[in-house]
Amino acid sequence: MPVAAPETSEIVLSARNVAKVFGSIQALKGVNFDVRRGQVTALFGENGAGKSTLMKILSGVYKPTSGTIILDGEPIEFDSSTDARNHGISIIHQELSLAPNMTVRDNIFMGREIRTMKGVDFAEEERQCRLLLAELEENIDPRTKVEDLRLGQQQIVEIARALSVNSRILIMDEPTSALSASEVEVLFKVIRDLKSRGVSIVYISHHLEEALQITDHAVVLRDGNMTAYAPRGDIDLEWIVRHMVGEHFNLGSPPTGYPFGNVVLQVEEVTVVDATGNQKLVDELSLDVRAGEIVCIYGLMGAGRTELLECLAGRLAARHGKVALNDRDITRASIAERIAEGLVLVPEDRQRDGLVQTMTIGQNLSLANLRRLVRGLFTSRRLEREHIDNAIRRTTVKAGSPDHLIGSLSGGNQQKVVIGKMWSTNPKAILLDEPSRGIDIGAKAEVFRLLAEGAREGLAVLYTTSEVGECLSVAHRIIVMHKGKISAEFGSDVTKARIMAASGEAVVH
């Protein structure tokens, strides 16, 4: 039975017995949910629990299959997200919904352009845009194209767009998934200011400890049901995890019981520069990863982690230095040649770089392996289906059918599809850039379990993270980057404080 949140006079928006069905999948099963004036309600749950579906119903993106939405004490039906926004409800989606070929200014005011008798007042839009970005302490030129921004800056633009509407109910679905620690602190200051003005906030995050800093109430969804509700004073990290996954969870430990093999991936004094050629993003960096070894790279935003992995995968050119795979020099090899040699990358932005949104789950899983599935002039449907079924079974993708579009999956399952696609090429070394971004604790544990299994089979694993706790999960060795260089190297027995200190991050005692 769904748990009903206690009634209070401060409720401004409610879902009552809301259910949502997509074909054969019941995403929500009679959920009751309340939003209170001037307070933050944190919504927790594993990927696929129904969090984003519920928020899309509250913000007018979806219509409920059954149940009622109540706004200011009156039942209401939203015709669209624009209708919901006109009633004061805005949402920051988990996956960015920006137009990359448009400027920051045009994205923020898209569909709400400031018009005069002479047309769009671009100067006023730019002025307001600068004020919004200044409030978020982000120095971005409003005339910059979104595609030229790093992922964290794009997330800031998404937040600025939602703030520009002056909503009274603001839904934040994973707003900090790509933000640095300092950017998160700025966002939290903005949230506190919004609360003081009476704005109600629904906050969804897989960063559990982070969410506890800002929330007033917590609600947990599990398999489409509301399983728990409590005010902030009654909850802690263990309470959240217990109601999310049914047991106290951890992210695993470094796999043991086997010797490391030879060096698989060798990086020698690699330097990567920015588009101007003036700034070193990676500065004469050297490292080795052995067969069966899992190496984690930790660093703050701007440390050079992503640029290093994209250089190793062939997306960025090295100004100088050498990259070798099993003693074979691949420094000048193309991306396709590196994949053929056994080096693959799971990118940070799965939506833009890891998946084809117009394809099905199965098509995405088989995309990197099509040549092996061709018989004669055509792809063998039987071989492709076997390949897809094996990939889904190995990566434990939770999908109603491999014939559904990839967008029907939760973020965590989409990430497992990206990993499964790369895994199917039989790599010798796998690079993963922030593999747990935007996925819940259960999905994180499954991702790290996959990495541990691969290491036991002789795979060399190199992954990055900006969450210090994830360094201490399955990694045998932890490398800390700061301003393009390696600032420290540790074994798996290091403390969080030492890792953070080496990265240049302030440690709170």
pLDDT for 5? 44
Residues of the chain predicted below pLDDT 50 = 1-9, 506-509
Q: Output b/e per residue, 301-320; b: 16+ Cβ within 10 A.
A: bbbbbbbbbbbbbbebebee
| Model pLDDT, residue 3 | 46
The answer to whether residues 460 and 293 touch, using CB atoms and an 8 Å cutoff, is yes
Decide yes or no: CATH 3.40.640.10 for domain 11-245: no
Task: Please tell me the distance from the alpha carbon of residue 483 to that of residue 301, in angstroms, as a whole number.
Answer: 9
For residue 132, what are its two tokens?
A: 């919004």
Domain pair 11-245 / 251-342+427-508, same fold? yes
How many beta carbons lie within 10 A of that of residue 368, not counting itself? Answer: 17
Tens of pLDDT, residues 253-287: 899 999 999 999 999 999 999 888 888 999 999 99
> Residue 239 CB: number of other CB atoms within 10 A?
16
Task: Please give the pLDDT value at position 113.
Answer: 87
Fold of 251-342+427-508: Rossmann fold (3.40.50)
Residue-level pLDDT at 276: 80
Q: Which residues pair with 66 in a beta bridge?
A: 19
pLDDT value, residue 289: 96
Please give the radius of gyration of the chain, using alpha carbons only, rounded to the nearest integer.
Answer: 23
pLDDT at res. 295: 96
Count other C-beta atoms under 10 Å from residue 61's C-beta: 16
Question: Domain coordinates of the chain in residue numbers?
Answer: 11-245, 251-342+427-508, 356-426
Task: Give ∠ CA 187-469-190 in degrees, rounded to 5.
Answer: 5
| Cα gap 320→115, rounded to integer Å | 51
Residue-level pLDDT at 4: 44
List, for residues 168-222, the tens digit of each pLDDT value: 999 988 887 767 777 788 888 888 888 888 889 999 887 778 888 899 999 999 8
Nearby residues of 370 by Cβ (< 8 Å), 6 or more positions away: 379
